[in-house]
């Protein structure tokens, strides 16, 4: 905890026909509620900022011009009312004004902050939402806007002609809350947190990006050892990144890549963070509104920011640069840093998971197209028919089970692509095209069904079941019941929307035994038992013999014999006398071994 902020909260009423806002209601919103404004900032700024004192004044009745009007008009009226009631506002770093009911006749007063950092103030109409309140409080704490996707959040002209700007274009940062680049990463708090006279007060989130936190107040994350730095030209490392808000000191929530020509304003710096709310991570609840599915640009996954110039200014700011949404075939993101490109790559074992608990990430300059195929195999074996047969040379043992079996083999072919799809802030799973070819043929729509294809090396064409997952592009193949042994080629081709990139590809195959015949489980158990009969003695070793070795041999033989008897009582009965002779021989050896051990100990 390194910064102290002193807040004065002034409540004003601009319409005497409604009941005034009470200090208790304001305290709940600012201080005491489970998801209050200041608790948001304690959670999201790593307890770096302490709020003391936070004093509440009012409610005061003020006369305001007919709206719309300037936030400064409201602020000045509130300050004057407090000072007229004997309040000294000079000790406070910031003033927060709650204006109630704020918008008589449906037209509101201008709201928001008057500046950034200590000495500024903010006007908060009670008709706005908690996200807005946290955003404006962020300004008075020193946080500025973030940039990214072009949007109309800063189009204040009201002339009916839409104008787009990059400011407010970061779907992953509270400080873009006027628009979030067209996304909606907020969520609705439980009804139990309803506060009277705050009709929209249940809308909250998302988190402050780790990038914006480090850019504005680097000590907050550095003090808890949650940052890992990568320097161009230094060691090329892979880092583990934990979800923002996971809470444990020492577990990194942010990777910072520093290019060689990064200047004192941070130009070209790359920030990498992982945004995934988990129930067991209390502070990550502020990201509950990040969509787990769908086309919204606020999905959960790896998020990348860069530091670039603010348009029309010599100052720099944090810009949303792209993401890798899980699960996805896309394992990397190419980022234009304005001083050259950098590549953020997720290790293959994480990219196809929906909610990994952490991810492994590399940041460097390399960017080489590749595609690989990960295979997950499962089999289901069903016995179609059985008959009892003698084994040639073993007729004396009895009849054994001969089975006809159907094996259904299912293989998930998971594509992992690098070097494609990293061309802008809309990057995500939809920027990667993966085309599958089974037996040289591309399966026809729909994305699940049966396809008839030729086999590798010739032979008759065969039917196989297939499906293709729309999110992960995973191909699943399984053989048809009743089919014989088969081998089919499998080919994956990947490309993106950039026409100058040639497709990249990988090859593998699908094999399945189909219908097969062979000896049953009783034959296997018989051979296990026969091995123990023909290999009764422990292997020679240095040192004194162990007294329990022969007992273990006896126990193993009895165990295997019992398994055989459960499967094939006839063969087990024919073998009983041989097994008993072997057990007696082992017991004699065990008695002799005890004498040897005893004599060894007496020496």
pLDDT single digits (tens) 347-401: 998 998 999 999 999 999 988 888 999 999 999 999 999 999 999 999 999 999 9
End-to-end CA, the chain? 71
pLDDT surpassing 80 at residue 46:
yes
Cα(494)–Cα(502) distance, integer angstroms: 9
pLDDT single digits (tens) 68-115: 788 999 999 999 999 999 999 999 999 999 999 876 544 578 899 999
CA distances from 318 to 200, 206, 259 (A): 29, 16, 16
Cα(488)–Cα(462) distance, integer angstroms: 9
Cα(77)–Cα(97) distance, integer angstroms: 10
**Conformational region of residue 579, where left means phi above 0, alpha means psi within -120 to 50, and beta covers everything else:** alpha
* Sign of the four-CA dihedral 472, 473, 474, 476: positive
pLDDT band at 157 (very low <50, low <70, confident <90, very high): confident
Cα(230)–Cα(237) distance, integer angstroms: 8
- Provide the pLDDT for residue 156: 80
- Provide the pLDDT for residue 602: 44
Q: What share of the chain is helix, strand, coil (3-state, %, to 5)?
A: 25, 35, 40
Is residue 577 helix, strand or coil? helix
425, 308 contact by CB (below 8 A): no
List the Cα angle 308/335/170 in 5-degree steps: 60
The count of other CB atoms within 10 Å of the CB of residue 101 is 19
Calculate mean pLDDT across residues 441-456. Answer: 89
Mean pLDDT, the chain, rounded, equals 90
Q: Closest Cα to residue 550, out of 558, 559, 538? A: 538
- What pTM was estimated for this model as a whole? 0.84
Domains in the chain, CATH or no CATH each: 1-142 (3.40.50), 146-184+203-367 (no CATH), 370-518 (no CATH), 520-602 (no CATH)
pLDDT single digits (tens) 163-175: 999 999 999 999 9
Is residue 523 helix, strand or coil? helix
- Provide the pLDDT for residue 600: 45
Low-confidence winner among 135-139, 201-205, 246-250 (lowest mean pLDDT): 246-250
110, 24 contact by CB (below 8 A): no
CA distances from 152 to 135, 162, 179 (A): 18, 6, 7
48, 96 contact by CB (below 8 A): no
Is residue 530 helix, strand or coil? helix
Calculate mean pLDDT across residues 412-439. Answer: 78
pLDDT single digits (tens) 272-299: 999 999 988 888 999 999 998 877 788 9
Q: Closest Cα to residue 174, out of 186, 188, 165, 190? A: 186
The count of other CB atoms within 10 Å of the CB of residue 3 is 16
pLDDT single digits (tens) 463-498: 999 999 988 899 999 999 888 899 999 999 988 866
CA distances from 363 to 230, 231, 571 (A): 7, 9, 65
209, 318 contact by CB (below 8 A): yes
pLDDT single digits (tens) 112-137: 999 999 999 999 999 999 999 999 99
524, 395 contact by CB (below 8 A): no
Phi/psi for 484 (5° steps) reads -90, -170
């Amino acid at each position: 905890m390194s910064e102290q902020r002193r807040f004065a909260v002034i409540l004003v009423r601009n319409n005497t026909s409604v009941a005034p806002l009470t200090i208790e209601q304001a305290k709940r919103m600012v201080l005491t509620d489970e998801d209050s404004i200041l608790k948001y900032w304690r959670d999201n700024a790593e307890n770096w900022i302490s709020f003391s004192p936070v004093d509440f004044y009012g409610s005061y009745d003020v006369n305001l011009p007919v709206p719309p009007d300037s936030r400064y008009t409201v602020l000045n009226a509130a300050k004057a009312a407090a000072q007229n009631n004997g309040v000294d506002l000079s000790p406070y770093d910031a003033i927060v004004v709650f204006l109630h009911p704020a918008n008589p006749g449906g037209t509101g007063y201008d709201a928001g902050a008057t500046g950034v950092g200590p000495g500024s103030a903010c006007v908060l109409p009670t008709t706005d939402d908690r996200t807005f309140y946290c955003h404006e409080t962020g300004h008075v704490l020193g946080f500025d806007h973030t940039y990214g996707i072009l949007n109309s959040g800063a189009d204040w002209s009201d002339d009916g002609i839409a104008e787009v700007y990059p400011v407010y274009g970061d779907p992953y940062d509270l400080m873009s809350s006027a628009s979030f680049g067209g996304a909606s990463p907020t969520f609705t708090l439980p009804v139990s947190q309803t506060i009277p006279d705050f009709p929209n007060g249940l809308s909250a989130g998302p988190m402050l990006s780790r990038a914006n936190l480090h850019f504005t107040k680097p000590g907050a994350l550095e003090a808890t050892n949650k940052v890992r730095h990568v320097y161009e030209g230094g060691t090329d490392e892979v880092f583990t990144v934990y979800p923002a808000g996971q809470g444990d000191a020492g577990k990194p929530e942010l990777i910072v890549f520093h290019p060689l020509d990064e200047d004192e304003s941070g130009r070209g710096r790359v920030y990498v963070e992982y945004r995934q709310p988990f129930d067991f991570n209390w502070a990550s609840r502020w990201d509950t509104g990040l969509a787990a599915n769908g086309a919204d640009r606020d999905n959960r996954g790896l998020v990348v920011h860069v530091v670039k110039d603010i348009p029309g200014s010599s100052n720099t700011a944090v810009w949303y640069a792209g993401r890798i949404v899980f699960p996805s075939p896309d394992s990397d993101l190419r980022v234009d840093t304005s001083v050259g490109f950098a590549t953020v790559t997720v290790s293959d074992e994480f990219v196809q998971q929906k909610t990994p608990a952490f991810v492994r990430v590399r940041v460097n300059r390399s960017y080489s197209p590749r595609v690989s195929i990960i295979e997950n195999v499962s089999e289901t074996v069903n016995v179609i028919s059985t008959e009892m047969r003698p084994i040639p040379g073993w007729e004396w043992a009895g009849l054994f089970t001969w089975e006809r079996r159907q094996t259904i083999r299912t293989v998930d072919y998971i594509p992992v692509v690098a070097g494609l799809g990293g061309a802008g802030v809309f990057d995500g799973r939809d920027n990667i095209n993966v085309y599958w070819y089974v037996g040289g043929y591309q399966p026809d729509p729909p994305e699940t069904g049966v396809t008839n294809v030729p086999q590798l090396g010739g032979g008759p064409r065969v039917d196989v079941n297939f499906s293709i997952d729309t999110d992960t592009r995973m191909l699943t193949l399984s053989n048809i019941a009743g089919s014989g042994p088969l081998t089919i080629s499998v080919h994956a081709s990947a490309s993106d929307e950039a026409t100058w990139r040639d497709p990249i590809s990988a090859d593998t195959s699908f094999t399945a035994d189909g219908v097969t015949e062979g000896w049953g489980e009783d034959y296997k158990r018989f051979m296990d038992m026969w091995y123990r009969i023909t290999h009764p003695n422990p292997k020679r070793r240095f040192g004194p013999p162990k007294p329990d070795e022969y007992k273990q041999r006896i126990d193993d033989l009895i165990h295997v014999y019992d398994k055989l008897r459960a499967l094939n009582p006839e063969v087990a009965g024919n073998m009983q006398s041989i097994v008993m002779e072997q057990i007696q021989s082992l017991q004699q050896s065990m008695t002799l071994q005890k004498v040897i051990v005893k004599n060894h100990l007496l020496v």
